[in-house]
Amino acid sequence: MNQNSKIYVAGHKGMVGSAIWKNLKSKGYKNLVGKKSDELNLMDASAVTDFFAVEQPEYVILAAAKVGGIVANNNYRGQFIFENLMIQNNVIHNAYISGVKKLLFLGSTCIYPREAPQPMNEDCLLTSPLEYTNEPYAIAKIAGIKLCESYNLQYGTNFVSVMPTNLYGPNDNFDLEKSHVLPALIRKIYLGKCLEENNWGAIRQDLNKRPIDGLDGNSDQTEIVLLLGNNGISYTPGGAPEDISVEIWGTGNPAREFLWSEEMADACVFIMENVDFKDLLPSNQKSIFDKSNQKKSESPEVNSNNLGGIEIRNTHINIGTGTDISIKHLANKIKETIGFNGKLNFNTSKPDGTLKKLTDVSRLHALGWQHKIEIDEGIRLLYKWYVGL
């Protein structure tokens, strides 16, 4: 890529896409294209085809997806698999049709089996059953990896797939039903802190900015108390501050890996600038792939690669930190950062999800990129962003 290359960032308003957009801008890329969902519905095949025909982007970063935490993944299973399949099929296929030079597809480390060896390397893919609660989303993302891989092998495209670990950062989703664990904990514990301080102005301001179940800060105080209670933030008017509690699903024992979203963006741009699909192949496969593409360029009517019977798979790249933290430890770090003195109530009747999901990032490190922001600093940064400090 050069600074005048036309780059389409699908999902440029979300947490992931906005971080990538910001990173590209900071590095001098000037010709960025982004469309909000009300301007371009990526599930509409004809609309996506028209968009590519008109805009003709040279590079594509596919960060658009339907995402959510354990509650949303489990409750909206049909939407998660259907919408993600539609989005990625339309974008990836049209990138091929229009001759895009390179595409980056973003998935998630939830693609790996529930009982995968820890840390999980790229070769763990499809070796055993997935975690049930996010199986539809994971299957959609696996299909995206295989779509990119298959187009590369048949058509000689340069489509690279990356699998970020759990992300958090600016423009995160703080919806208490649909968000991931870290932003949900920050919001719930922050609201608990506001109740502890009897700071109804801050509570109303929070609800006006991010209404819950249709209720905003203009609602009656009794309604707000009931609303917060229904979302795991328990409060008895007139009670002692230490009696305020925040509910957290599960035992708190599962461990998760977290990566600051702006660092994920830096890794993605690094890969776009420095890594091609063929770079992810073993040397013996790389030479066969190059020869096959050469034959195809000499005979354009040839529509597939002759790879001599070799099997090419698991060419995606994990993006993460290689370190994790238990949900209980994470919650207590957030509690300490925010200054909440109430209780954390772990609801063991609710599912834990996968007990451990730690990525092996040795492939990413070998390519030349490593993270810098650790979880303590990241929590402080996100809390500061959330409250607008």
Which CATH number do you get for residue 120?
Answer: 3.40.50.720
8-state DSSP, 259 = E
Pick from 274, 304, 319: which residue ends a domain? 319
Query: Same structural domain for residues 207 and 222?
Result: yes
For residue 286, what pLDDT is reported? 73
Q: Is residue 210 part of a domain?
A: yes
CA 265 – CA 136 distance, rounded (Å): 25
For residue 304, what pLDDT is reported? 54
What secondary structure does DSSP assign to 295-317, as a single string? HHHH-TT--S---TT-------E
Locate 89 and state its tokens.
């099929």
For residue 34, what pLDDT is reported? 98
Residues paired with 345 in a beta bridge: 247
Q: What is the pLDDT along the chain (389 residues), one digit of tens a residue?
A: 999 999 999 999 999 999 999 999 999 999 999 999 999 999 999 999 999 999 999 999 999 999 877 778 888 899 999 999 999 999 999 999 999 999 999 999 999 999 999 999 999 999 999 989 889 999 999 999 999 999 999 999 999 999 999 999 998 989 987 788 999 999 999 999 999 999 999 999 999 999 999 999 999 999 999 999 999 999 877 777 678 999 999 999 999 999 999 999 999 999 999 999 999 998 778 777 776 676 666 555 555 555 666 889 999 999 999 999 999 999 999 999 999 999 999 999 988 877 888 999 999 999 999 999 999 999 999 999 999 96
| Phi, psi torsion values for 253, nearest 5 degrees | -80, -30
Query: Same structural domain for residues 164 and 65?
Result: yes
Query: Same structural domain for residues 22 and 137?
Result: yes
Catalytically annotated residue among 76, 112, 137, 235: 137
Strands 255-256, 325-326: pairing is: antiparallel
For residue 353, what pLDDT is reported? 77
For residue 305, what pLDDT is reported? 56
Give the number of C-alpha atoms closer than 13 A to the C-alpha of residue 361, restricted to the C-beta side.
Answer: 25
Helix residue spans in the chain (DSSP H): 15-26, 45-55, 70-75, 77-97, 135-155, 181-196, 200-209, 221-230, 261-274, 283-298, 327-338, 362-367, 375-387
| Preceding omega of 57 cis (within 30 degrees of 0) | no
8-state DSSP, 171 = T
**Is 363 strand, coil or helix?**
helix
Q: Is residue 86 part of a domain?
A: yes
Residues paired with 103 in a beta bridge: 60, 159
CA 201 – CA 205 distance, rounded (Å): 6
Q: Is residue 294 part of a domain?
A: yes
| Burial per residue of 200-236, b for 16 or more beta-carbon CB atoms within 10 angstroms, e otherwise | eebbbebbeebebeeeebebeeeebbebbeebbbbbe
Count of structural domains within the chain: 2
For residue 307, what pLDDT is reported? 63
CA 211 – CA 187 distance, rounded (Å): 12
Query: Same structural domain for residues 90 and 144?
Result: yes
CA 66 – CA 108 distance, rounded (Å): 12
Q: Is residue 361 part of a domain?
A: no
Query: Same structural domain for residues 290 and 155?
Result: yes
Residues paired with 163 in a beta bridge: 318
Query: Same structural domain for residues 144 and 203?
Result: no
Q: Is residue 25 part of a domain?
A: yes
Q: Which residues contact 291 (CB under 8 A, 6 or more apart)?
A: none
Query: Same structural domain for residues 28 and 149?
Result: yes
**Is 133 strand, coil or helix?**
helix
CA 116 – CA 120 distance, rounded (Å): 6
> Can 383 be counted among the known catalytic residues?
no
Q: Is residue 228 part of a domain?
A: yes
Query: Same structural domain for residues 94 and 157?
Result: yes
CB neighbourhood size of 58 (10 A): 17
- Residues 316 and 145 sit within 8 Å (Cβ to Cβ): yes
Pick from 303, 319, 335: which residue ends a domain? 319
Give the number of C-alpha atoms closer than 13 A to the C-alpha of residue 273, restricted to the C-beta side.
Answer: 16
Residues paired with 75 in a beta bridge: none
- Report the CATH number that the domain containing residue 201 is assigned in CATH: 3.90.25
Locate 179 and state its tokens.
């968000």
For residue 351, what pLDDT is reported? 84
Q: Is residue 92 part of a domain?
A: yes
Q: Is residue 368 part of a domain?
A: no
For residue 308, what pLDDT is reported? 62
CB neighbourhood size of 299 (10 A): 9
CA 48 – CA 147 distance, rounded (Å): 17
Alpha carbon 191 to its chain centroid, in Å, reads: 25
Strands 7-10, 32-33: pairing is: parallel
Locate 197 and state its tokens.
């301080």
Query: Same structural domain for residues 48 and 148?
Result: yes
Domain that holds residue 190: 181-255+325-356+376-387
Q: What is the pTM of this model?
A: 0.88
C-alpha closest to that of 325 among 182, 187, 134, 132:
182
Query: Same structural domain for residues 207 and 264?
Result: no
Query: Same structural domain for residues 84 and 227?
Result: no
Query: Same structural domain for residues 289 and 334?
Result: no
